[in-house]
Structure 1
Amino acid sequence: MRRWLYGLLCLAAVLWHPALLRAQTAPEEVDVALVLAVDVSYSMDLDELALQRNGYIEAFRSRQLHDAIGKGAIGKIAVTYFEWAGGSFQYVVRPWKVIDGPAAAVAFAEELGEAPTRRGRRTSISAAIDFGVQLLEQSNVAAMRRVIDVSGDGANNDGRPVTAARDDAGAKGIAINGLPVMLKQASYFDIDNLDGYYSDCVITGPGAFVVPIRDKSQFVEATKTKLLREIAEAPADATLQKAQARSTANCLAGERQWRDRMGN
C-alpha cells in the first residue's frame, strides 16, 4: 500500500512540475488569430444570410487563401466564426481552429456549410466587438497579429456606443476590419453610406480597411479579398472598393434612428 502511494505521489510530482505544465499548455504560434463576426439580425434577408455564409465557405475552399496561409512567416492561422445580432445575441458557430494547410481550410469550410444559421433582433456591433475580444483572449494561440472581422448590414442600435468598443479593442492592439453589406436602399433601420459609417466608427488599427458589398454577385469575391488581406497583411490594392464621397459619419446614427422609430 505504501509503495503504491509513493508511486502515485511521484507521478503527481512529475505531472505538476512547472516546466512540464508549461510545455503542456504552451500556446501554438500562428501568423494571425482571426475572429469572423457575422451579422444575422432580422434586417438580413434569408438569401442574404445564405450568400454571406457561402462567401466564407468558398473563400476557405479557395487555393488563393491556402497559398496565402502557406506563405506566412509561420504558415498557420487560427480562426473562429460567430454570428451576432443584438447585445445579448452571440453564437459561436465554429470554435477556434488552427489552419495549417488546404485540408484544414477545406474542413473549416465544410463545418460552416453544415451548421445551421440563427437569427436575432437588433444590431449591436459593439457587443460583437466585445465578444470578439473575449474570444481572442481565450484563443490559446500566440499570434503575431490579432484581428476582428465584422460583417453586417446596419449601424449599431443596441448596447454601448460602437466607438467605445472599437477604442477598447484598439487599445489592446487588436485590429478591426469591416465588410458592410449594402444591397438595399437605406430604409427603416438602415442608414445611408454604411461603408462610411464602418470606416469612421467601426474599424481600427494600422492598415484597417472596409470592403463594401453592393451586389449579391460580390459576396464571394469580396469576402475572399478581405480574408486574403487579413491573412497576408497585404497593402490596399485596386480590387478594394472605396467608400463613396461623403461627410463624416455620425457614430450614433443607429441609436438615434432606433429612438426615432420607437418614438422614444
Structure 2
Amino acid sequence: MSLMTTLMLAGGLLLLNGAAAPAETRVDLALVLAVDASFSMEPDEQDLQRHGFAEAFQSPEVHRAIRQGMLGRIAVIYVEWAGAFDQEIIVPWTVIEQPADGPAFAERLLRNPVHRMGYTSISGVIDFGIQQLRHSGLQADRQVIDISGDGANNTGRTVTLARDEALAHDVTINGLPIMLKRPSSLWDIEDLDLYFRDCVIGGPGAFLVPVREKAQFVEAIKAKIIREITDRSNPRSLIQPAHDALPTNCLAGELRRHQPTAR
C-alpha cells in the first residue's frame, strides 16, 4: 500500500466503489454513520448493531431507495466512537450506486473487529463527522450525521455547541437512541429519546428512532437509513413522549460524571 493511500485511509478520504472514486464525486447524500462503541454498550448489543447496519445495506429496499435519488448514488462512511478523541473509521467513504456496492460495503464492515472504548462524547463524534464531510472530496446535495448511542454526552465540549456548529454548516443530525435496559447506574439517564431530541438532533428533516427492544434493531436501522436516503418526512413524530413538561437538561451526562461515586 502506498504512503498516500495509507494517509487517505487514516483520514477517511478514500472513496471506494470497486476502485477509488474521482475527486469531487457528486452524490445525492453524504452519510456519516456514527456508532457508539463505548463500554456502556454490551458486546452483544454492539454485535447486533454492527449486523443491523450490514443487513440494511444488503437489503433490496435500501438499494431501491438509493436508485430513486436524482443521481442514484450516495456515499457512506462508518465510524465507531466513544470519548472525545476516540473515533475509529471502520469503513472509509464508499460510493454506493450499483447493486453490488451495498453488499460489498456490508462485507467490509463485518470483516472488521468491533472496538470498545471509554466515555461518551457525542460532541466529539459530531466534530469528527464534520471533518470527514469537509475533507471527503464529495459534492453532496445533502449531508447527514447519523448518531446511535445509549447514553448522554459526558466528556468533551458541550453537545449543543457541536450540534449548532454542524447545523451552521448545513449538516443534519439524526439519532438512534438505544434504550434496551432501564437506567441502572449513575451514567444512565431517563428518557434518552428526549435528550436526543432536545440536545443532539437538528437540521432540515431531522428525526430520531428509539430502539427499546433487541428485536427492533435491524428493522429500525433499515427504516432510518431508507428515510435518510429518500429524505421523506414522517407526518407524525416517531416518538410520542408520555410526559414532556420540563425541558431536557443537555448537561445531564456531564453532571453525572462529576458525581463523587461515578466511574
Q: TM-score, normalised by structure 2?
A: 0.88
Q: Which residue of 2 aligns with 1:209?
A: 207
| 1:257 and 2:256 correspond | yes
Letter in 1 for 2:74: I
Q: Which residue of 1 aligns with 2:220?
A: 222
| 1:69 and 2:47 correspond | no
Of 114, 117, 125 in structure 2, the residue corresponding to residue 117 of structure 1 is 114
Deviation at 1:261, TM superposition (A): 4.4
Contact 1:193 1:244 (C-alpha < 8 Å) held by counterparts: no
Q: Provide runs of 4+ in structure 1 moved above 4 Å.
A: 261-264
Q: Which residue of 2 aligns with 1:231?
A: 229
How many residue pairs were aligned?
241
Deviation at 1:245, TM superposition (A): 3.0
Q: Which residue of 2 aligns with 1:92?
A: 89
Rg (Cα) greater in structure: 1
Contact 1:82 1:92 (C-alpha < 8 Å) held by counterparts: yes
Letter in 2 for 1:178: G
Paired with 2:224 and 2:213, the residues of 1 have a C-alpha distance of: 16
Q: Which residue of 1 aligns with 2:127?
A: 130
Contact 1:156 1:162 (C-alpha < 8 Å) held by counterparts: yes
Letter in 1 for 2:53: Y
Deviations 1:79-121 (A, max 9, x none): 0001000111000000001000220011001111111001001
Paired with 2:107 and 2:73, the residues of 1 have a C-alpha distance of: 19
Deviations 1:45-68 (A, max 9, x none): 000000111110110011110000
Paired with 2:258 and 2:152, the residues of 1 have a C-alpha distance of: 13
Letter in 2 for 1:250: N
Aligned pairs for 1:34-49 (under 5 A) are: 34-49=31-46
Deviation at 1:139, TM superposition (A): 1.0
Give the direction of change, closer, same or farther, for the CA distance of 1:67–1:127 in structure 2 (3 Å limit).
Answer: same
Q: Which residue of 1 aligns with 2:10?
A: none
Give the direction of change, closer, same or farther, for the CA distance of 1:218–1:124 in structure 2 (3 Å limit).
Answer: same
Deviation at 1:26, TM superposition (A): 4.6
Paired with 1:44 and 1:261, the residues of 2 have a C-alpha distance of: 23
| 1:178 and 2:175 correspond | yes
Of 78, 86, 106 in structure 1, the residue corresponding to residue 75 of structure 2 is 78
Paired with 1:44 and 1:26, the residues of 2 have a C-alpha distance of: 37
Contact 2:57 2:63 (C-alpha < 8 Å) held by counterparts: yes
3-state secondary structure, aligned to 2:217: helix
Contact 1:52 1:219 (C-alpha < 8 Å) held by counterparts: yes
Q: Write 1 or 2 for the structure with the bigger share of helix.
A: 1
Of 191, 195, 198 in structure 2, the residue corresponding to residue 197 of structure 1 is 195
Letter in 2 for 1:253: A
Letter in 2 for 1:171: A
| Unpaired runs of at least 5, structure 2 | 1-20
Paired with 1:124 and 1:256, the residues of 2 have a C-alpha distance of: 14
3-state secondary structure, aligned to 1:167: helix
Q: TM-score, normalised by structure 1?
A: 0.88
Contact 1:69 1:101 (C-alpha < 8 Å) held by counterparts: no
Paired with 1:36 and 1:183, the residues of 2 have a C-alpha distance of: 20
Deviation at 1:25, TM superposition (A): 6.2
Letter in 2 for 1:58: E
Deviations 1:13-55 (A, max 9, x none): xxxxxxxxxxx96501100000000000000000000011111
Deviations 1:137-184 (A, max 9, x none): 111110000000000000000000000000000000000000000001
3-state secondary structure, aligned to 1:142: strand
Paired with 1:148 and 1:163, the residues of 2 have a C-alpha distance of: 15
Contact 2:207 2:238 (C-alpha < 8 Å) held by counterparts: no
